[in-house]
Amino acid sequence: MKTLLLLRHAKSSWKDSDVDDHERPLNKRGKKDAPKIGRMVRDDDLLPDLIVSSSAKRCRKTADHVIEQSGYRGETRLSSELYEANGEKLRDFLSQLDDRISRVLLIAHNPGLEEFLEPLVGEYTPLSTAALAHVELSLDRWADLASDTRGNLIKVSQPRELED
């Protein structure tokens, strides 16, 4: 059994149009929402074995808040492959994970996350900023994650539903 935690980065700032998209920071709401998800990960006993984040600044900062608030002490990887990755690229990336990893938290972007999640759970599942989708997979090996793999969507958590 494998567990996927798919987290769309928290809300980012468009205030400075001169900033490259990859380097856009979190805005005020993003800095408030990301810690809520971190506390929920801790409180719901969802600490992952590995966190993998897109290399984009808004994802890195989302990861920082989640790590700080959840108490996560494991390995965190940054990957430029996840920046602007579509659903197929996300699946390919995950299929290369080490099988000793049972639960992974993947922090990335839309539309790729929704493109990946929809066929996995069999229905369109919108992911607003800082939304976390918890999916259980009946797999023993990440390499078996294929386009026809079906997972069980346990829950989608939205920051607005969580306490401050």
Centre a 10 Å sphere on the Cβ of residue 83 and count the other Cβ atoms it contains: 17
Would you say residue 18 has pLDDT above 80?
no
| One-letter identity of residue 9 | H
Between 160 and 99, the more confident residue is 99
Centre a 10 Å sphere on the Cβ of residue 77 and count the other Cβ atoms it contains: 12
Residue whose token pair is 């980065």:
9
Decide if 136 contacts 9 (C-beta within 8 A).
no
Considering the chain, what percentage of its residues have pLDDT values greater than 90? 90
DSSP assigned state of 145:
-
| C-alpha span between 140 and 136 (Å, rounded) | 11
* Predicted pLDDT of residue 160: 87
**CATH fold of the domain at 2-161:** Rossmann fold (3.40.50)
Q: Provide the residue ranges of all domains of the chain, joining segments of one domain with +.
A: 2-161
Q: What is the mean pLDDT of residues 59-86?
A: 97
Would you say residue 85 has pLDDT above 80?
yes
Would you say residue 13 has pLDDT above 80?
yes
Query: Given pLDDT bands bounded at 50, 70 and 90, which one contains residue 142?
Result: very high
